[in-house]
Amino acid sequence: MESFKKYFWPLLDLLLVMLLVLGVFAASALKHSVDATPSSRTISVTAEGKTITSPDIAKLNFSVVTEGLDTAKIADENVKKMNKAIDFVKSEGVEVKDIQTTGYNLSPKYEYDENRRESFISGYTLTQTVYLQIRDFSKISKILGNLPLLGVNNISSLSFDIENQDEALSAARDQAFGKAMTKAKAMAAKNGVRIKRVVTFNEYQNNYPIYATKAAYGMGGGDAFVESAPAPSIEPGSQEVTVNVSVTYEIR
């Protein structure tokens, strides 16, 4: 009994100290959990930021389509025309990295014989397609005007784009979040509360081409590779880079 009394009080003191330490840790964890939990007193706002900038790259596809009965002959004719077109494009300063062959398709043409009631091959069609990016806009009209003279008989999908949108996106993003904060503060002031912190936020982007009237680009520099051809008027317009944001703020 004496031995029990001897160790009872020290053990009790140790137990109390351990409970006190555990209580401090529990209180700290609870406070952290409460701080991390979104407050039910919040307001959510949306805002839009936009910048308008000029595109800096033109993109298009062009093809040489050749038809005939002799596959070897149409292949030779097609390749010669395409090679000549590519050489011309390179002579206008378009780099090799911006010229990509995206299609080479040889297919038979079928017809139906009513008398024999069967289909037969009446010839072949060879289509070779190249994807082209033009960075010097002063060359666009000349390239488009002269490609048909070199045997190119299909030009499509001309479009304009911004190669690196980071700067425009950053400016639009800053504008959008600035508008969101201004709107939230105005709403809070009208209702007698204050903004405490951001709880959640997200954004999404929409980029729209704006077909604004601009001066047409002429034939461009460089010695003539082929005889003069009518140059189409090309208007790259502008591009609108838009960022929409949604922000939820805690209020107090």
pLDDT of residue 31: 58
From 161, 179, 208, give the residue that closes a domain.
161
- % of the chain residues with pLDDT over 90: 60
Does residue 173 share a domain with residue 86? Answer: no
* Residue 8 exposed, middle or buried by CB count within 10 Å (0-12, 13-18, 19+): exposed
Does residue 134 share a domain with residue 14? Answer: no
- Provide DSSP, 68-128: ES-HHHHHHHHHHHHHHHHHHHHHTT--GGGEEEEEEEEEEEEEEETTTTEEEEEEEEEEE
What's the structural domain count of the chain? 3
pLDDT tens profile 25-73: 665 665 555 555 555 799 999 999 999 888 999 999 999 999 999 999 9
From 142, 161, 180, give the residue that closes a domain.
161
Mean pLDDT of 99-109: 96
pLDDT tens profile 39-50: 579 999 999 999
Mean pLDDT of 221-236: 60
Ranges 102-106, 218-222, 230-234: which has the least confidence: 218-222
Does residue 135 share a domain with residue 103? Answer: yes
Residue range of the domain that includes 202: 42-54+165-251
pLDDT of residue 215: 35
pLDDT of residue 214: 38
pLDDT tens profile 239-248: 888 999 999 9
Strand ranges (E), the chain: 42-53, 57-68, 99-113, 118-134, 154-161, 195-210, 238-251
Does residue 142 share a domain with residue 99? Answer: yes
Q: Domain of 197: which CATH number?
A: 3.30.110.170
From 161, 190, 215, give the residue that closes a domain.
161
Going by pLDDT thresholds of 50, 70 and 90, the confidence category of residue 238 is confident
Q: Domain of 91: which CATH number?
A: 3.30.70.2970
Which of 191-219 are b and which e, b meaning 16 or more Cβ less than 10 Å from the residue's Cβ?
A: eeeebeeebeeebeeebeeeeeeeeebeb
Handedness of CA 219, 224, 225, 229 (dihedral sign): positive
Residue 78 scores a pLDDT above 70:
yes
pTM: 0.64
Q: Whole-angstrom Cα distance, residue 248 to residue 40?
A: 11
Residue type, 153: N
Does residue 134 share a domain with residue 72? Answer: yes
Does residue 132 share a domain with residue 61? Answer: yes
Residue 1 scores a pLDDT above 60:
no
